[in-house]
Amino acid sequence: MVQMSESPGEASFYARTGRYRWAIAEWMMSTDHKRIGVMYLGAILSFFSVGVVLGFLIRLSLLDPGWLMGAQTYNEFFTVHGVIQIFLFIIPGIPVAFGNIFLPILIGAQDVAFPRINRLSWWLYVTGALIVLLSLFIKGSPPDTGWTFYAPYSIRTPANISTAVLGVFVLGFSSILTGLNFVTTIHRMRAPGMRWFRMPAFPWTLYATGWVQMLATPVLAITLLFIVLGRFFGVGFFDPSKGGDPILYEHLFWMYSHPAVYIMVLPAMGIISEIVPVFSRRALFGYVAVCMSALGIAIVGYAVWGHHMFTSGMSDTARVIFSFITFLVAVPSGVKIFNWVATLYKGSISLDAPLLFACSFIFTFSIGGLTGLIIGSLAPNLHLHGTYFIVGHFHYVMFGGAGISILAGLHYWFPKITGRMYSERYARIGWLNFFVGFHILYFSMFVLGFQGMPRRYFDYPPQYHTGHAVSTMGSWFLALGLVIIFGNLLYGIFRGQRAPANPWGGKTLEWTIPSPPPPENFREIPVITRGAYHYEDEEVREAP
């Protein structure tokens, strides 16, 4: 493949097209997947920051319950923290930001299959986000149900549930349209010669994710609609006093929300699968297995929702079956972990910031996954389900999995998106603070949970104070790390050195075009003649 050098002066996709008078209108009306992706990226990172601040304050309050906020405020804080981080940040997260920017480029296309639907889903995202935020500021109190909106409390509480739920409903539409768009794009828009098994791993995971988005999100939409109908019209599907069944809500909710875990984690695994080969100069080990395991996770992921409800009231048969299938998810996940490690093995590793984050992903996600097996088995689950162990596990998987991989992807693709480099030194310092803080913060939760500290509680007996104090101190390191990481990246955007087209020596298509890419991505549609990770010729050339 010929490496095109950057021709200075060539217009990037940031350049004004002059179609609208104001830049903001030009961006909001744009159908360019890269612009939409960049806007998404800005939006999700802003919401992430808000969510982090809320989480930070929750931890601060737990240092000495009551000194910072009252019990009701605490409930609202952890609800809004969850709603923002889950529905506004991590579920749209990787597909809408990195997927939008890089999916068409990685498969050699000029845009997604339905550019205008892509824009529509961005508008819907903005609308949904605004509606969710509205629920915080309009009359009445912010949502206080936890991010799961469990019935019947969500139908009875006077807080602004309807507004928040309506916002999430709209966000769901946005997610469905993105998934639909990506799956169609991958089916129809691949460059000549880009066979299925020549696609890089990231499009593969986006493909699996797209299917989950399409086939799970509508269930959430209808479930949330029932909550709204229950509140406005008194339709009591989940209200026992009207013959309904609150457990049914949990079933419907988790029927979506468990697959949603894979909406968050699958593309994260895709990013890691891109980074590891580049920084170890080796082809992705077991490429086909890695791609297929993404589909495997997506399929098995549909049949495990019951493990969220082992203590909610289910028959023993159902619980045993759900527990068993939960263990099956570990198989394709393990396939990925082992293949990444095998890719690193005997590689020519350069431990730059993206790989540092990628390796932390492998480490933290393994802990998250293995603790998932502990709570996936019935007996420990009964003991641990209502405790901080779940909070720890959840954050290890979500933040330590999807969150860290977003950080990894940010550093990996930063030169391509912005056309600038960041400071490697500060990226590492930030990473160190983040990584240490992360494990102090969330590992303490496993210990607390084992000791029996119930989750969602505002207050606790004195014996848990040490655990909470340690955990809170971890959050300070983590926050400091994030400040350094994002400070460094922001500085890089404005003051960083100009980035070459291919700073890491990557082999996938995005590195063959200038940084930042021109509006049409490719001047000529590339013709693909081999797989995505052909580092073997490099090894031959460099051999003595």
Partner 1 sequence: MSTQTGHIDAAGKKMGMWFFLFTEILFFGGMFLLYSIFRYKYAQDFHNAAAEENIVLGTVNTAILLTSSLCIALSISAIRRGERFFSSWLQLVTIVMGVAFLVIKYFEWMAKIDIGIYPDSPVLLKMGGGQTLFFGLYYVMTGLHGLHVLVGCVVIAFMMHFTMKQTINRGNVARLENTGLYWHFVDIVWIYLYPLFYLIT
Per-residue binding letters, 88-117, with partner 1 (x by CB under 8 A): ---------------------xxx-xx--x
Q: How far is CA 318 from CA 303, 307, 388, 403, in A?
A: 11, 10, 25, 32
Nearer to partner 1, 190 or 455 (CB): 190
Residue 243 in the binding site for partner 1 (CB under 8 A): yes
- The residue within the footprint of partner 1, chosen from 154, 163, 178, 223 (CB under 8 A), is 223
Can you tell me the distance from the alpha carbon of 10 to that of 6, in angstroms, rounded to the nearest whole number? Answer: 8
Stretch touching partner 1 by CB under 8 A, among 134-142, 233-241, 299-307, 321-329:
233-241
Nearer to partner 1, 176 or 509 (CB): 176
Query: Please, what's the b/e burial string for 509-533 (b: 16 or more CB within 10 A of its CB; e: otherwise)?
Result: bbbbbbbbbbbebbeeebebeebbb
Residue 221 in the binding site for partner 1 (CB under 8 A): yes
- Give me the least distance between CB of 210 and partner 1, in Å please: 9
Can you tell me the distance from the alpha carbon of 432 to that of 366, in angstroms, rounded to the nearest whole number? Answer: 19
Can you tell me the distance from the alpha carbon of 529 to that of 293, in angstroms, rounded to the nearest whole number? Answer: 25
Between residue 152 and residue 191, which ones bind partner 1 under the rule CB under 8 A?
176, 180-181, 183-184, 187-191
Residue 312 in the binding site for partner 1 (CB under 8 A): no
Nearer to partner 1, 176 or 264 (CB): 176
Residue 194 in the binding site for partner 1 (CB under 8 A): yes
Q: Give the DSSP letter string of 65-103.
A: TTSS--HHHHHHHHHHHHHIIIIIIITTHHIIIIIHHHH
Nearer to partner 1, 124 or 176 (CB): 176
φ, ψ (nearest 5 deg) of residue 84: -65, -50
Nearer to partner 1, 67 or 233 (CB): 233
Q: Is the CB of residue 396 less than 8 Å from the CB of residue 367?
A: yes
Residue 253 in the binding site for partner 1 (CB under 8 A): no
Q: How far is CA 173 from CA 29, 124, 222, in A?
A: 19, 7, 11
Residue 260 in the binding site for partner 1 (CB under 8 A): no
Nearer to partner 1, 248 or 342 (CB): 248
Both structure tokens of 94 = 């990787």
Closest CA to 396 of 481, 278, 478: 478
Rg (CA), the chain: 23
Residue 126 in the binding site for partner 1 (CB under 8 A): no
- Give me the least distance between CB of 212 and partner 1, in Å please: 11
Nearer to partner 1, 331 or 527 (CB): 527
Which residues lie near partner 1 (CB under 8 A)? 109-111, 113-114, 117, 176, 180-181, 183-184, 187-192, 194, 214-219, 221-223, 225-226, 229, 233-237, 242-245, 248, 252, 525
